[in-house]
Structure 1
Amino acid sequence: MKFSNVYKALFLFFIIFGLNKAYTQTSNTKAPKNVILLIGDGTGLSQISSAYYFKDSEPNYSRFKHIGLIKTSSSREDITDSAAGATAFASGIKTYNGAIGVADDSTEVKTIVEIISRKKINTGVISTSSIVHATPASFYAHALYRGYYDDIAVDLVSSDIDFAAGGGKMFFNQREDGKDLFKELKSKKFELDTIKLGTIEEISNHKKMAYIFGNEHLRPAAKGRGDYLPRATELGLQFLSKDEKNPNFFLMVEGSQVDWGGHSNNADYLISELIDFDDAIGKALDFAKKDGNTLVIVTADHETGGFTLSSTIKETEDGEKYSDYDEITGTFSTGGHSATLIPVFAYGPGAEEFIGVYENTEIFHKIMKVTGW
């Protein structure tokens, strides 16, 4: 009887000890102070795979250990567009295709930028498209339709964004209403540059910074844009973290034109943009590794083009066709989007939360959970 009580006491002790240990481990888990969300528009698994065959160096995707998958359908359609997909990331809700920062019933929803700016967390958006295009717009604007570019530009001016880089000058200074939003940006404490990216030494004294290049979108990487995206990513990270008293931030970086290569069924265009996006991922990971307090998330809103890395079809001297398994050709099944599941890669504090299969809206909720924002 006595031994039985002793065993019971020991059993209870080990249970309590184990629970306390588990609680301590959970409660002591480090929360990220910064988040970098990189969105490769239209980038599915085959697009990512292309980097492993066509990039001259090891892809930065290889640096991730925590990987998941998201379901991307919008509130009304099986296949999402970029507006609904980005709104899911920015606000954690499903909405209809074409919606920017509004719910399925057309009511405005709070974006992560609006939520965390009140907590004195710096925010930024970077894209290779117009800065008022669907993906970046979903993080700071509210519009019933993604094509209301003039209205979205007004929302950028009045937003709490601290760093912006992308295209779209025409939506700021060539407007139907005659307004000069560049002047209004400056009145909102933005320093503006429409010529070239600066250095952190040149812009470190500015409160806010906006780089708006190109009349509408930026050129493709292979046709004059060069290394803009990785450079803008590095500069944005330096700018948003420059103040010792207020160094914490959220930055969204979009590789916009992977999607456009998919829409045009142009494999060379797609692959060059994907490699450029991978270089931007490298800048984010380098910052996170050095900083130690930064969570990096890489994903996409949807896949575009039904892209596949197929064997190259060749012909023998007799005219017989065959598949050459030693040579890869990028092929497509559609000129639009597809419903395939999309990979999610995470690095840094909280990365383990992004393992599994879940809805695209969970990107927002998981960010808010691990950061405590």
Structure 2
Amino acid sequence: MTARKRVSRRAKVLGAGIAAAALVGTAAATASPLTAGGNGHGKGGKQPRNVILLIGDGMGDSEITAARNYQVGANGRLNLDTLPSTGAYTTYSLMKGTNTPDYVTDSAASGSGWATGTKTYNGAISVDTNGKKVPTILENAKAAGYNTGDVSTAEMQDATPAVLGSHVTSRDCKGPSATSAKCPANAIENGGDGSISEQLMQTRPDVLLGGGRKYLDEKVTAGTYAGQTVLDQGRAQGYQVATNATELQNAPLGKPLLGAFAPGNLDLEWVGPTPTREGTPAQRCAVNPKRDAAQPHLSQMADVAINRLDALSRDGKGAKGRGGSDDKGFFLQIEGASIDKQDHAANPCGQIGENVEFDKAVGKALDYQKKNPNTLVVVTGDHGHTSQIVGAGSKTAGFTATLTTADNAPMTISYATSAELTGQEHTGTQIRIAAGGPQADRVEGVTNQTDLFTTMSVALGLKGD
């Protein structure tokens, strides 16, 4: 065993011309170096070659437990349960103008926290509380010679995928048409970098997969690509485009890959009962009959992204890695977006189906890690959410539905953070974070969401310990 002193971390808080700091305690830790040929699930102490970050949007402990109970039973274990290092992190954002804590974050501020290491206000995309852009983990990794990827079941312009490759003052500035009104300082005609869509094309991850095709079809209003669509801009900057699962699987390696598989978010995996004030009979969920068969599932997108980035990082053309003998690896973020969206909609089968598919994507990452134990895999959420498991058949102040689990037992889920059925809200609870592979022990204990940026940066050699 070799001793390693855990880094003393700070969550950067910028705004109003001053920087406040949120300190996270230090702790001594021991770590065993990961042995060559190991299964990749150990904690490990060596330098990772690759980092895979998997985000279950809105995936708090209650969402994980509901998915586990339903899919594998109370005594079963999901893929995400098998990671050896587990901790919790705080998720608060900041009040714009005062920099006091906003205890209930949104996905934009939350994602900006781990993407940049900087706390910001709800709605901000990788800018500080003054609206100043802050470099992201993906941008830093790309500049250092790593291959990069960004995958989501939401619109690729949605908050979580957007934070890696764009900087705007409002998450609503997804396409050129909205930016001049909602983010005037970011509009190209005002000297800015453009909408989220335009900036993602400029950042150009090697793999960019999700929905949001309607924003790519918008016309650019100013600059080099004025009059052309955002998708035209992407093609001009080297992207090949896939629009269905077949094209995704068959895309050649020669160019970066842009997959746009729906006008908006990708379709849900499962459907089921709508909660009511009086509850529902116990029942199982069903596969969504309206799901577009041409759309890839998250696990398929994850598999393609991982294998594609692995191949690109071994083609002999990448920047040399630490030590000068091997090409650098990759950074990849994979998001299961509609766990959150179906929590908002009080849709238990929609929520659980997305969590189960997300867990399949976690399985793809762990399968890769078994063969490539120099890969750090991190699995977490971005904020807490509304669903609660309550006594079977009980009524609450909110809306309930009862599902029959893998144990053939009833599980009642309650939604009670809003008086409106489809207006359920986030909560401010801390979130589980788990990891496996070299440097996985950095996530243990209670940390701050912004510490994840430091963990990944140090893992990729982008920042000193």
Superposition TM-score tier, normalisation by shorter sequence:
0.7 to 0.9
The SS at the match of 2:245 is coil
Shift of 1:310: 1.6
From the superposition, tell whether residues 26 and 268 of structure 1 become closer, same or farther in structure 2 (CA, over 3 Å): closer
From the superposition, tell whether residues 63 and 154 of structure 1 become closer, same or farther in structure 2 (CA, over 3 Å): same
Match of 1:170 in 2: 214
Picking from 117, 122, 127, the partner of 1:102 is: 127
Higher helix share: 1
Picking from 100, 109, 114, the partner of 2:139 is: 114
Equivalent pairs, count: 344
From the superposition, tell whether residues 356 and 225 of structure 1 become closer, same or farther in structure 2 (CA, over 3 Å): farther
Match of 2:199 in 1: 155
Pair 1:363-2:452 in alignment: yes
Give the stretch that moved more between structures: 50-59 or 117-126: 50-59
Pair 1:238-2:339 in alignment: no
Which digits, 9 at most, give the CA deviation of each residue in 1:140-164, with x for residues without a partner? Answer: 0000000000110000110141101
- Kindly report which structure 2 residues correspond to 1:262-341, keeping only aligned pairs within 5 A, or say none: 262-305=343-386, 307-313=387-393, 326-334=409-417, 335-341=424-430
Structure showing greater radius of gyration is: 1
The SS at the match of 2:93 is coil
Shift of 1:205: 2.8
Identity in percent: 31
Picking from 188, 195, 212, the partner of 2:237 is: 188
Q: Distance in 1 between matches of 2:229 and 2:459?
A: 40
Match of 1:12 in 2: none
Pair 1:40-2:56 in alignment: yes
Amino acid at match of 2:389: L
The SS at the match of 2:391 is strand
Shift of 1:52: 1.9
Match of 1:7 in 2: none
Amino acid at match of 2:388: T
Q: Distance in 2 between matches of 1:127 and 1:23?
A: 35
Q: Distance in 1 between matches of 2:268 and 2:409?
A: 29
Q: Distance in 1 between matches of 2:50 and 2:370?
A: 12
From the superposition, tell whether residues 131 and 199 of structure 1 become closer, same or farther in structure 2 (CA, over 3 Å): closer
The CA RMSD measured in Å over matched residues stands at: 2.4
Q: Distance in 2 between matches of 1:206 and 1:289?
A: 27
Picking from 83, 102, 112, the partner of 1:64 is: 83
Structure 1 segments unaligned to the other structure (5+ residues): 1-17, 316-323
The SS at the match of 2:94 is coil
Amino acid at match of 1:236: A
Which digits, 9 at most, give the CA deviation of each residue in 1:105-164, with x for residues without a partner? Answer: 111100111111111101111001100011100000000000000110000110141101
The SS at the match of 1:127 is strand
Match of 1:83 in 2: 108
Shift of 1:298: 0.6
Amino acid at match of 2:452: I
Q: Distance in 1 between matches of 2:389 and 2:358?
A: 19
Shift of 1:27: 11
Match of 2:67 in 1: 51
Which digits, 9 at most, give the CA deviation of each residue in 1:155-210, with x for residues without a partner? Answer: 0110141101000111011348453122211111111112335466x334322001
From the superposition, tell whether residues 26 and 259 of structure 1 become closer, same or farther in structure 2 (CA, over 3 Å): closer
Which digits, 9 at most, give the CA deviation of each residue in 1:305-328, with x for residues without a partner? Answer: 2x111222269xxxxxxxx99521
Amino acid at match of 1:108: K
Pair 1:220-2:239 in alignment: no
Q: Distance in 2 between matches of 1:238 and 1:68?
A: 28
Are the equivalent residues in 2 in contact too, given 1:297–1:345 (CA < 8 A)? Answer: yes
The SS at the match of 1:210 is strand
Pair 1:203-2:251 in alignment: yes
Are the equivalent residues in 2 in contact too, given 1:114–1:160 (CA < 8 A)? Answer: no
Q: Distance in 2 between matches of 1:132 and 1:314?
A: 39
Shift of 1:98: 0.2
Which digits, 9 at most, give the CA deviation of each residue in 1:43-81, with x for residues without a partner? Answer: 100101112211147410231111010100002211100
Match of 1:6 in 2: none
Amino acid at match of 1:311: G
From the superposition, tell whether residues 23 and 274 of structure 1 become closer, same or farther in structure 2 (CA, over 3 Å): closer
